[in-house]
DNA sequence: ATAGCGCCCTGGTGGC
DNA sequence: TGCCACCAGGGCGCTA
């Protein structure tokens, strides 16, 4: 489940390899991943374009083209973007591919086919609604304890639901919501507005630290995630609660409990998190 | 405006 | 061994 650290890892790898490359071909094996273009239209727009930059906003990847347009990719749960030699056969779940002028393909593989591609033209063009409404980047200077306090103020929803709301904070998914709340010692079901200023400060620091720590390990691979070079992340070895139901809390030894909060599988230490 | 829920989709798992 | 219900979950559309 690629979240901010995983998508950022892919972004860095793709940027290093893709910038300056020219698109020679486009293959779309599953047209419904394209949200606002037909395969033929996408090919017409992309072929001949040079890649100018690879950016990230929340969990979206933006491949910027030299004509001011962009290809906006969301990996959702099982999507992968990897660079391979063009001779590499498609996998059973290859949904699309872009061939480059250096003999390689940018392959998009996605088992569950939730991932999406949007083409955005130079002027306006359609943005994915979630991207247009995206909240603050948690690793940017704009994200301060005061920002988080404002976000939480007056919200009766569980604090975990607020962390998952991309319109408030960008890029946090189920894994890092659980991990940040553990580090902060806060129960995920608490109404966001019930957090004390001290708790808001701890949660702010925890969000940043867990994202930074995971980024340093190349992200988390629980099941499907692979980076732009086809390699898994390493942070799963350092998770405190996610996926550790029944195992002892690393801090106090109490078994980690799994329950449902905000409709999501949620992992907590019932002793450390209040 | 906010909160909650079902849907999309496939592969892996566990029960019988 | 086979079959099937169930689960994973981000974004989105719908409801109240």
Domain ranges of chain A: 4-132, 145-268
Q: Strand B: which bases are under 7 Å from protein Cβ?
A: 2-6, 8-11
Between residue 234 and residue 263 of chain A, the positions with Cβ below 7 Å from nucleic chain B are 262-263
- Asked whether strand B has any atom less than 7 Å from the CB of A114, the reply is yes
CA of A204 to C1' of B15 (A): 43
Which residues of A spanning 184-203 put their CB closer than 7 angstroms to strand C? none
User: What b/e sequence results for A61-99 when a residue is b if at least 16 CB atoms lie within 10 Å of its CB, and e otherwise?
Assistant: bbbbbeeebbbbbbbbbbbbbbbbeeeeeeeebbbbbbb
Output DSSP code: residue A238: G
The pLDDT value given to residue A125: 65
pLDDT for position A225? 84
Q: What is the pLDDT of residue A6?
A: 93
pLDDT given at position A162: 93
Between the CA of A51 and the C1' of C14, what is the distance in angstroms?
39
At A36 the pLDDT is 87
Give the DSSP letter of residue A166: T
Sign of torsion over alpha carbons A205, A174, A56, A80:
positive
Closest alpha carbon to A86 in A102, A59, A104:
A104
Is there contact between A111 and strand B, defined as CB under 7 Å from any strand atom? yes
Alpha carbon distances (Å) from A89 to A122, A218, A260 = 33, 26, 41
Report CA(A258)–C1'(C1) in Å, whole number: 33
Which pLDDT does position A139 carry in this prediction?
A: 95
Among protein residues, the one whose C-alpha sits closest to the C1' atom of B5 is A263
Cβ-based burial of A196 (10 A; exposed 0-12, middle 13-18, buried ≥19): exposed
A129 CB less than 7 Å from any atom of strand C: yes
What span, in angstroms and rounded, lies between the C-alpha atoms of A99 and A89? Answer: 13
- Whether CB of A265 is under 7 Å from strand C: the answer is yes
pTM for this one?
0.95
Average pLDDT of adjacent 10-residue blocks, chain A of 274 residues: 91 95 96 90 96 94 94 92 94 94 95 91 77 91 94 91 92 92 93 94 95 93 85 90 90 90 88 94
CA angle A225, A215, A172 (to 5 degrees): 70
| CA–CA dist A83, A86 (Å, integer) | 9
Strand C: positions under 7 A of a protein C-beta atom: 7-13
Q: Is the CB of A88 under 7 A from strand B?
A: no
In sequence order, what are the beta bridge partners of A119? Answer: A71
Q: Quick count: other Cβ atoms within 10 Å of Cβ A20?
A: 12
- Strand B atom within 7 Å of A130 CB: no
Residue nearest to nucleotide B10 (CA to C1'): A112
Active site residues per annotation of A: 2-3, 59, 264
Q: How many Cβ atoms sit within 10 Å of the Cβ of residue A269?
A: 24
A93 touches strand B (CB under 7 A): yes
| pLDDT on residue A154 | 86
Q: Which fold has domain A145-268?
A: Helicase, Ruva Protein; domain 3 (1.10.8)
User: What fold, for A4-132?
Assistant: N-terminal domain of MutM-like DNA repair proteins (3.20.190)
Q: In this structure, is the CB of residue A31 within 7 Å of any atom belonging to strand B?
A: no
């Amino acid at each position: 489940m690629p979240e901010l650290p995983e998508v950022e890892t892919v972004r860095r790898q793709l940027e290093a390899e893709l910038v300056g490359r020219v698109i020679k071909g486009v293959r779309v094996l599953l047209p419904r991943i394209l949200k606002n273009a037909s395969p033929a239209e996408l090919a017409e727009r992309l072929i001949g374009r040079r890649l100018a930059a690879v950016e990230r906003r929340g969990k979206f990847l933006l491949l910027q083209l030299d004509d001011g347009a962009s290809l906006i990719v969301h990996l959702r749960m099982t999507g992968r973007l990897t660079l391979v030699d063009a001779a590499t056969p498609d996998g059973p779940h290859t949904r699309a591919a872009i061939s480059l002028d250096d003999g390689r393909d940018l392959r998009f593989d996605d088992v569950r086919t939730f991932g999406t591609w949007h083409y955005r033209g130079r002027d306006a063009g359609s943005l994915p609604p979630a991207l247009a409404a995206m909240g603050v980047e948690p690793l940017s200077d704009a994200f301060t304890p005061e920002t988080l306090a404002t976000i939480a103020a007056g919200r009766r929803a569980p604090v975990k639901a607020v962390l998952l709301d991309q319109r408030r904070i960008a890029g946090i998914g189920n894994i890092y919501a659980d991990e940040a709340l553990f580090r902060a010692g806060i129960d995920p079901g608490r109404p966001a507005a019930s957090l004390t200023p001290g708790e808001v400060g701890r949660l702010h620091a925890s969000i940043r630290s867990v994202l930074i720590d995971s980024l340093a390990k190349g992200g988390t691979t629980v099941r499907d995630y692979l980076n732009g070079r086809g390699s898994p992340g390493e942070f799963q070895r350092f998770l405190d609660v996610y996926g550790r139901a029944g195992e002892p809390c690393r801090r106090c030894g109490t078994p980690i409990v799994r329950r449902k909060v905000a409709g999501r599988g949620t992992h907590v230490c019932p002793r450390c998190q209040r």
